[in-house]
Amino acid sequence: MIIRAVPDAEDEELDPVDPLGAIYIENEGGTLLERSVFLDDWFRGLLSGLRYIRSGEQEAVVDLHSSREPLIWSVGPAGVVLKYKGRNLPISHLAEFESALREAIIEFTEQYRMHKNWPKCTELPGLREWALHKHANEH
């Protein structure tokens, strides 16, 4: 399982308030790539869906502030499926997905946390705290 968030080259300032870039998710079931999205929004949406499914929900529809299309998480006979814009990405191991999400958040926020606008961020600091807290417990 691989999750990567890459800032857009045009986003020269690398402003953490509106971090524009590409999100890439890959596993044995396929890939999902979305360009020119707000990455903090995607991280929040992925974590929210994961939490809903982990709490026992059979489906979670997570609105992305930066897109008209929601992220849809569904539990099926073969496991969880992440759906976006008519594409399906099966996720057979939620623990692997969670670990990859934590790594992606830590890696991505490392580029931004010393930025002068970091204190103005609404999503990234909390996401980083979540990722670091569990990450420290795993090692």
**Which position has the higher pLDDT, 10 or 72?**
72
Report if residue 114 sits inside a domain: yes
Count of C-beta atoms within a 10 Å radius of residue 46: 25
Domain count, the chain: 1
Report if residue 135 sits inside a domain: no
Report if residue 98 sits inside a domain: yes
Q: Which residues 6+ apart lie within 8 Å of 3 measured at CB?
A: 23, 24, 25, 26, 46, 97, 100, 101, 103, 104
pLDDT at 7: 87
Share of the chain above pLDDT 90, in %: 68
Domain span holding position 88? 2-128
Q: What is the pTM of this model?
A: 0.90
| CA 87 to centroid of chain Cα atoms | 16
Q: Is the dihedral of CA 63, 35, 41, 78 positive or negative?
A: positive
Burial 68-89 (b: 16+ CB within 10 A, else e): eebbebbeeeeebbbbbeeeeb
**Which position has the higher pLDDT, 56 or 111?**
56
